[in-house]
Structure 1
């Protein structure tokens, strides 16, 4: 069979298994086994055992369950609830007022969570009831939360960055540093849109609850101190070189446990629930990673990555057109797969082409994170849409529609990143 026929067969098998509600990790392993068994001389069982063990026992990947656990601890204790009280007084004078708590809250929580879904759910549980009670429109409230929740992937520490760093064999610490400026810039774009929307719909924005003096605002900011301290410990240990990403993740878990204990919100029930929640989520991620690693190996033996790279190179696409094509490809893929699956499933195929185009892999990592963010809010498999549907009871198509402006802002961010690459690569270059 030629390459086109092999590729078509594997794609049909992939979507047939996904459509049959088979777990994603098992689907990837099954497609890999079919590919190796039919089109390679390498024994599929032996290759699968070695690959699954190697991917699951990676020391670098140890940071992943630790960051997930840290996010679960914050999700179930008073640390997350304190953020709204500390943020609200400072945004009362901005156009849109308390709507900015969605963006700022997600930006801050993203710096300690690393998960888009956890960021969206945690901040949503704080802000949606408060904003609804004050009469803010649901369209902009839910739309801004869905968009800003994706910052959990871009602002370090990020689970997707860890997965990409392992897949592309680039420094996770440098990726974390590279995500700072783009994350802040994208959050600023979200806030700017909220301000413009609010100026155009002044009649829909409620009046402020009360007027606070500067001293009162500073006093209310005390609620932010625990989270700020945790951020400083985790990110500071990485950027100063004191700890690796894995060690910093362990520090974050210990720090969140200590702060929760000091606040009196840590008990056996919250500890157990956070540990079980993190275990369930990481087991799902680990299964996906193992299956994708095996699929990547199978595709390598079949020769598809090399042939695809040769095909794309033969098209004569300029680097800019290649990036546009990849952005469209990932957004379409995001309609069917979650972000982690997208990254680990495609890196073995895409990276040779990207390297041939002489695109910086740190820059490409930030690009990948942004387009995966875009996929988080595209139906039918947009994780943030599922989270908000469960929290609000709204139809997923309605949530996707009100989130669309923030999707287009991310498209604009991709263009900014291309025309001004220093946004992503300047700070890592100083390390």
Structure 2
């Protein structure tokens, strides 16, 4: 079956599923295969559960005329999404960066949806599978799609841009994330800048943080750039007013009081304001959209539980995000502070030095009640409580009474430190 024919089929059944547990009626099931699973085995189940067709790449699972055999299911999914993108009228804003991608995406979507029919990447489905799935959610009514792009190695953003062909782009920052795959911070900068390269080659508009020296250097004299800044009159002026603990900011004599903590969320809000202004969203709508946004999914959530004031930032962590989270926690004017910090993953040969740097920062900031969880933190040179695993932490907490504390919980997704809430 050609991609053109498959796309016609998709237009008739415009829902794509990759998980038989979430099958919807009249959908198309793509039998993706990974290291630990083979989606081909579930093709029949998908059809029995309501899928109209199942796309497979192993002939032995051809169970009926509703199974369509292709050479490679993943490649077919990607080709279908690229074909669909080429035939839709929606404008696409691509978003990447080391930290803050998902929060920024949600803020941009909150602002733009005040005026336009939008779609945005769900959760953090931002890789070689997630981006195609996002593109296939674009309908004839969609006016703007905000597509988050993640990467852990060189060439990945370039590949995702080839599929999505963005009309606009924004990079949140360049930080110490996925150092193992990128080979160091220079690799991170080069990899994320693949978005810039794509947009510049097509003479597309780029949104930027005018106070970020790396972004300014990378874009140089490129004409089609629109920026924000706290002081540079070349760009749109937005200033931070307060961050104790929730940030408030000012633009065009308007104060915005957010539900976001940490100075690191200031630029995320600025990007949403800038893009809202570019797309002619009324000032009051921009303000209300940002003020209404409430972070969820373990990202800088404020939780009050049994007398504890908890900052739950356990969705992910890297050296850059860990550093700003600790500095923000230090500046919060509260007593009885406790840190629960989990290992930062995908650092490769940089793991030892980066975990030690975080421990040194904790010492410098004079935090006293500190729990370090994970193999990497356990190897650091420190006098803090070090535990090799979450199970070790769970045992340790059974003999500790915690009352009325201010708590920061942060670690990589694989640590799943949100489980600590069960002990509070």
- Which entry has the higher C-alpha Rg, 1 or 2? 2
The TM-score, its normalising length taken from structure 1, stands at 0.22
If asked which structure has higher relative contact order (CA below 8 Å, sep 6+), I would say 1
**TM-score normalized by the length of structure 2:** 0.23
Higher strand share goes to which structure?
2
